[in-house]
Amino acid sequence: MPTLKKVAAILNPPAPHMVGDGFRVHNFFPSGHKIKMDPFYLLDYNAKIEFSPTNKLRGVGVHPHRGFETVTIAYHGAVAHHDSAGNSGVIYPGDVQWMTAASGILHKEYHEEEFSKKGGLFQMVQLWVNLPAKDKMSTPKYQALPNEGMSKYNLPNGNGVVEIIAGEYNGTKGSASTFTPIELYNLKLQAGAKVSLNTPANYNTAMIVIEGAIIVNGTEKASVNQMVHFAHEGTDIAIEASENSVVLFLSGEPINEPIAQYGPFLMNKPEELQQAIEDYNTGKFGYLEE
């Protein structure tokens, strides 16, 4: 018989810090809160902030990645990105960019030019999704997931929509392909809406309240910018929106492999980190103009 997935903690956002000059983020993990979220290694949350107009493009200059994927989810504002594989584009509100760095790529990301000139609200999430050892040196790839083409499940009675970035919800499959089993949704809920989710007991699971406030499993209250972290007990999650709300839900099967991390490299062994640094220094990640 299904049982409710126990809430382990309601976590407040850690103190923010700047990534480059364009992203003011709360690092929920791994540094902010010591929680197990494998296969998700990192979650940076750029809570809603107002940027003033400027002709200077704010952001992060050219930097390498190897051994994992970056997933950027836009709520407000717009980000332009380029990589050394020749990919580029703009992520607008509602869009998702899923970049598989794998064997290595150079990347840069900035506020989109028109957004920079006008200024305005900016709100984003970036996830680092680990890759299993067998896939860490696979060919880099890129998945652009614009909102208009994203898989969606409309809730009954106009209560909102579940945008399925990855995984499956009520028979509707997500837009992204993943290397390991991952459920990643945006729940956009009207006040009073009730939603049921189901995920295996052993999956590492959490959700962030991007907008509004919710009640989880009938008793636990979480409001904007808080994270709900779940224990490895039970499978079912009940959500009720106390007001109009947006909730990012993430759940994944643990990879359970050793991790060696240095800066933007996420490997299994220290010697693999040394190789990544050597490959980067000798130009094997390609070229990308600043």
3-61 confidence digits (pLDDT tens): 999 999 999 999 999 999 999 999 999 999 999 999 999 999 999 999 999 999 999 99
Compute the distance between CA of residue 197 and CA of residue 203 in angstroms, rounded to an integer.
Answer: 13
Would you state the pLDDT for residue 127?
Answer: 98
Compute the distance between CA of residue 84 and CA of residue 279 in angstroms, rounded to an integer.
Answer: 14
Compute the distance between CA of residue 231 and CA of residue 235 in angstroms, rounded to an integer.
Answer: 10
**Is 109 contained in some domain?**
yes
Query: Contact at 8 Å (CB) between 197 and 217?
Result: no
Average confidence (pLDDT) over 206-227? 98
**Per residue in 241-256, pLDDT tens?**
999 999 999 999 999 9
Residue 70 in tokens: 């970056």
Query: Contact at 8 Å (CB) between 66 and 276?
Result: yes
**Is 269 contained in some domain?**
no
**Is 263 contained in some domain?**
no
**Per residue in 74-96, pLDDT tens?**
999 999 999 998 889 999 999 99
Would you state the pLDDT for residue 55?
Answer: 95
Is the four-CA dihedral 40, 44, 47, 48 of positive or negative sign? negative
Would you state the pLDDT for residue 276?
Answer: 97
Would you state the pLDDT for residue 2?
Answer: 76
**Is 194 contained in some domain?**
yes
**Is 1 contained in some domain?**
no
Residue 131 in tokens: 């890759």
Q: What percent of the chain has pLDDT over 70?
A: 100
Picking from 146, 4, 21, 20, the residue whose alpha carbon sits closest to that of residue 73 is 146
Would you state the pLDDT for residue 32?
Answer: 97
**Is 57 contained in some domain?**
yes
**Is 132 contained in some domain?**
yes
Range of the domain at 213: 7-252
Would you state the pLDDT for residue 290?
Answer: 83
**Is 105 contained in some domain?**
yes
Q: How many domains does the chain have?
A: 1
Single pTM value for the model: 0.97
CATH number at residue 143: 2.60.120.10
